[in-house]
Amino acid sequence: MTTVEAPESHLRENPFQIARLQLRRVADIFDIDDRLVNILQECKKAVVVSVPVSMDDGSTQAFEGYRVTHNVARGPSKGGLRYHPDVTLDEVKALAMWMTWKCALMNIPFGGAKGGIVCNPKKLSRGELERMTRRFTSEIINDIGPEKDIPAPDVGTDGTVMAWIFDTYSMNKGHSVLGVVTGKPLNVGGSLGRLEATARGCLYTIQEAVRKRELSLDGLRVAVQGFGNVGSYLAKFLVEEGSTVVAVSDSGAGLYNPKGIDVSAALAHKQETGSLHGLRGADAISNEDLLLVDCDVLAPCALEQVITPDNADKIKATIICEGANGPVTPAADDILEGNDVLVLPDILANAGGVVVSYFEWVQGLQEYFWKEPEVNSKLRDIVTRAFNETWHVAQERQIAMRPASYGVAVGRVAEATVTRGLYP
């Protein structure tokens, strides 16, 4: 048996330290009691498991898996599961904390959680992925459930992975448990609108920001880093609203055309070849250079910490929409704010996924499913309300959108913690 070790991470700073720093900054601005900060800066539970898998070549490999619950003051914990070579425990802890704030900002009754397995899913066969997922589910089966902790798709996972978790959990319980995961395929209890939900949330946030700045989506120039589920749908939706997508990228290739990229052709090319590489009608560009192109809106929808003090001052966009979690470091935030760049923070901008996951959970518990227009309408209402609450706090206190959004979210979790008290 061999153990798969994590390669050197792409992360320049410890994400959990960043998350805690953000919390302390918000506590200072909003005068939150130190005793509450001491509770909120820690994760309630972190589970680390070994996931042995029989590989197709007859060997056995042991992967390392994590499931972290940050807080359950407002309800069961909720958060994605990512399969990526760079997954670390501290990254998962940070993502779990951010999920707590995201759920609170959207005012849905969940706390934050996150999970991950250190692996490269692109190098695993379908059978290996299924065996790894089912074994991981068995390892954490006592820690998840519709009233405890509800996983969902994230980087490197999708509806198929959720179906395997749903089936494994249900087989062990002896009956189908629809609410154990969200992001499931429609034929096993998924929700209409869930696949595009994160991108729709980004779109609604951009629409509100553009309206506040007295601009128009029609003719707006947009660069999208990351062409997975979030980035590809966001690019598609923005083009439908009249915007011009001047740059897109995935993990292997980037494309730039100041006159606009044919997003439909890019989607078809990606689906056919698995990559954006080789698409005609645009110049090749690196992921790093894409961040610096001349555009009105920049949407980093890939991984964390891509905008740092090294490149923040060179960014030409006037609005940044964080489709990914944590793409802007705290030091870069300060530079962008000084340059009057409006940053739409991750816990606001990309919360559409968890909102519709909440809808899916509710539908699964009721075993009654909604039509897609109803899902999208409810999503717009929640995201728009959260944007306006954040905007109001930002204007009232003369602070950036990130501390404003955190102020609303952390305040709600702190209030719930005080109301519940400490046991014993």
Domain range summary for the chain, segments of one domain joined by +: 2-183, 197-349
Which residues on neighbouring strands pair with residue 113, listed in sequence order? Answer: 69
Q: In angstroms, rounded to a whole number, what is the distance separating the alpha carbons of residues 111 and 70?
A: 7
DSSP state of 313: G
Q: Is the pLDDT of residue 6 over 70?
A: no
Q: What is the pLDDT of residues 51-63, one digit of tens each?
A: 999 999 999 999 9
Residue 88: its pLDDT value, please?
96
* Model pTM score: 0.93
- Which residues have a Cβ under 8 Å from the Cβ of 167 and sit 6 or more positions away? none
What confidence tier does 8 reach under pLDDT thresholds 50, 70, 90?
low
CATH topology of 2-183 equal to that of 197-349?
yes
pLDDT (average), residues 229-255: 94
CATH architecture group of domain 197-349: 3-Layer(aba) Sandwich (3.40)
- Which residues have a Cβ under 8 Å from the Cβ of 361 and sit 6 or more positions away? 78, 146, 150, 179, 182
Question: Residue 281: phi, psi to the nearest 5?
Answer: 90, 15
Domain 2-183 has CATH 3.90.79.10: no
Active-site residue, selected from the candidate residues 78, 93, 102, 114: 114
Q: What is the pLDDT of residues 277-301, one digit of tens each?
A: 888 889 999 989 999 999 999 999 9
- Pick from 22, 40, 99: which is nearest to 68 by CA? 99
Concerning whether 114 is annotated as a catalytic residue, the answer is yes
Contact between 89 and 48 (Cβ < 8 Å): yes
Ramachandran sector of residue 178 (left: φ over 0; alpha: ψ -120 to 50; beta: rest): alpha
Q: What is the pLDDT of residues 217-231, one digit of tens each?
A: 999 999 999 998 899
